[in-house]
């Protein structure tokens, strides 16, 4: 019997043009799946994370199902050091989270016109299982957090996620 050797295939890059960011490439292994959708975007399931030059501290959750939808996200602890979310059991079970190293929590940022006001949704963070690449926006019931917590300004944060200038790159 002849021995068959299968050589690993290099994962090919997908190229897409996003209205906000222009042409970007990503690999299938970089796609995040949101099986339950997101509030207000229940029909959108597949996303990629983009980093944009000049927008330090922010990433974009870019929909692959509707290229017009991109949500700015930020690490809540980079802004609110005392943030202490208690994830409900259903969320960790549904996402298959077993260890703290398995997931990341990010929060949606809302930026008003001309970036005059920025708020962060601490009430419903986005939880992503890094092993399975699945995510879910989770409501923190009885937490006292707000969906529109004002973000303090720092001198180096002029523009922030409100500006879409710069080159998009996949993390």
Share of the chain above pLDDT 90, in %: 78
For 120-166, the pLDDT digits (tens) are 999 999 999 999 999 999 999 999 999 999 999 876 544 445 444 33
Topology of the domain comprising 13-153: BH3618-like (2.30.290)
For the record, the structure tokens of 155 come out as 């001198």
- In the chain, where the domains are located: 13-153
Per-residue model confidence (pLDDT) at position 159: 47
Residues for the chain: how many in total? 171
For the record, the structure tokens of 131 come out as 């092993």
């Amino acid at each position: 019997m002849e021995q068959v050797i299968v050589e690993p295939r290099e994962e090919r890059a997908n190229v897409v043009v996003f209205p906000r960011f222009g042409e970007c490439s990503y690999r299938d292994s970089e796609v995040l799946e949101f099986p339950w959708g997101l509030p207000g975007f229940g029909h959108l399931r597949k996303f990629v994370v983009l980093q944009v030059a000049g927008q330090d501290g922010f990433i974009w959750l870019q929909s692959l199902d509707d290229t017009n939808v991109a949500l700015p996200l930020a690490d809540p602890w980079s802004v609110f050091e005392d943030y202490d979310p208690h994830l409900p059991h259903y969320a960790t079970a549904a996402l298959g989270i077993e260890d703290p190293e398995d997931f990341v929590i990010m929060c949606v940022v809302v930026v008003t016109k001309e970036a005059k006001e920025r708020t962060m949704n601490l009430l419903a963070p986005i939880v992503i299982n890094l092993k399975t690449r699945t995510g879910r926006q989770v409501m923190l019931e009885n937490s006292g957090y707000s969906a529109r917590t004002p973000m303090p300004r720092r001198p180096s944060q002029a523009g922030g996620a409100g500006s879409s200038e710069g080159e998009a790159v996949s993390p």
